Amino acid sequence: MKHLILIALALITLTAKPQDTTVVITSPKWQVGVLFSPDVTTGVYRFYPYGYKASFGFATGLNASRKLNKHFRLDFGLLYAQRNDGLKDLVLSVDYRNGFSYDTLASYKLKNNFIEIPLKLKWQFKQCKRFIFHAIIGASANILVKSTSKFTYYNGTTNEVYSTEKHTTNFTTQTILPSALIGIGMEYKLNSKLNIVLQPEYRTYFLSGYGHIETLTALGVNCGVSYGF
């Protein structure tokens, strides 16, 4: 009898199903957070397709996210962004009335400050324990609020470098620049409420009527934290 009891206990131990202790934290219905994105801007000028100077800028502000269903979220936000552009190694031909002329190198830099209102659709395609991965597509309205231009050139007659700077808040060109964006995002869930966010994004601007720039694109990485409820 003792041997039968031991055999029965051994069979129960072998056939018992182990419990899964893996913790999977689901996304809350709402998330709010703050983001900061360093980015680099590139483009092409209509009158000078060479020598465009890629410039660094940033975007920062608030973001909110609403869960639509198991796989989709809708994000919207309010950001302050600076998108910079400029020209380097610009060769200018300077003519004087006495007939003397020379070529000089110059550079031009423009800082554009925007209020950005993005709207994004995020598709959750993978969750691995505390990591959630999204594919992102969206658009944003970029309202131009301030522009600072700086022109630097070398004077060949005096061997001096001159620089002029101008601030503009009243614009004659397009002041609302729509843009389209795509990206991929990752969230790391610290717990059921707090998340660390990392979202590389690429955007292109629609510039009909925007002065001298023909194309403008920006590549950035949104970094931040969010709180769910």
Pairing of strands 213-228, 194-205: antiparallel
Residue 146 has what pLDDT? 86
Q: Give the CATH number of domain 25-228.
A: 2.40.160
Percent share of the chain, pLDDT over 70: 64
Please tell me which residue, 66 or 149, carries the higher pLDDT value. 66
Pairing of strands 160-168, 176-189: unpaired
Q: What is the mean pLDDT of residues 66-95?
A: 83
DSSP 153-195: EEETTTTEEEEEEEEE-S-SS--EEEEEEEEEEEEEESSSSEE
Highest mean pLDDT among 88-92, 96-100, 204-208, 216-220: 216-220
Six token digits for residue 12: 């129960």
Q: Is the pLDDT of residue 16 over 70?
A: no
Query: What's this model's pTM, rounded to 2 decimal places?
Result: 0.75
Mean pLDDT, the chain, rounded, equals 79
Please tell me which residue, 25 or 218, carries the higher pLDDT value. 218
Please tell me which residue, 121 or 41, carries the higher pLDDT value. 121
Q: What is the mean pLDDT of residues 41-52?
A: 65
Q: Is the pLDDT of residue 18 over 60?
A: no
